[in-house]
Amino acid sequence: MDVSYVNPFVEAVDAVFQTMLDVHPKRNAVKINSQEKRGERLTSLIGISGRMSGCVALCFPPETALRLSGRMLGSEITQVNDEVIDAISELVNMVAGSAKAKFNADPPLELGLPTVVEGSGYRVKYPSKSVWLEVPFSSDAGDFSMEVTYCPN
């Protein structure tokens, strides 16, 4: 996996979270995602097409999603609701948009609409030859991860 395709997303997480949420994420060891089943979480993902095709996802335990959404909306949120779904959708949209600008692709990369999956024990699948790279983060708002898969065209 070519890190030149991943680093813009890592940099975008740092920039978006610091600017929009006053959260300073600390990146932990990068790994290949095994797609193992996990506990309760919310995953906000967005497709990318153009010079490369793939997907970027932000994965949050519910408590982290609530804290981040509360910071984004300027209020305390105690349960996952439509505002939380909208907030984490917007986070993945901002991260993907910020990374997209770093690629300077001609023609520019295209982004799909964000999608949120909520629950436990689910797996996000992509075509069989794809590899999901997982970048875990820790922060004062809670742990979360970014997952990226792509295929250069």
Q: What is the CATH number of the domain that holds 12?
A: 3.40.1550.10
Q: 3-state secondary structure string, 48-65?
A: EECCEEEEEEEEECHHHH
Domain count, the chain: 1
- Summarised one tens digit per residue, pLDDT across range 86-116 is 999 999 999 999 999 888 777 888 999 999 9
Closest CA to 145 of 43, 66, 55: 43
Closest CA to 79 of 67, 91, 89, 90: 67
pTM here is: 0.90
Which residues span the domain enclosing 143? 3-152
Residues 6+ apart with CB under 8 A from 151: 52, 53, 54, 129, 130
- Summarised one tens digit per residue, pLDDT across range 56-90 is 999 999 999 999 999 999 999 999 999 999 999 99
Q: Look-up: residue for tokens 């069989």? A: 128
Closest CA to 59 of 39, 76, 30: 39
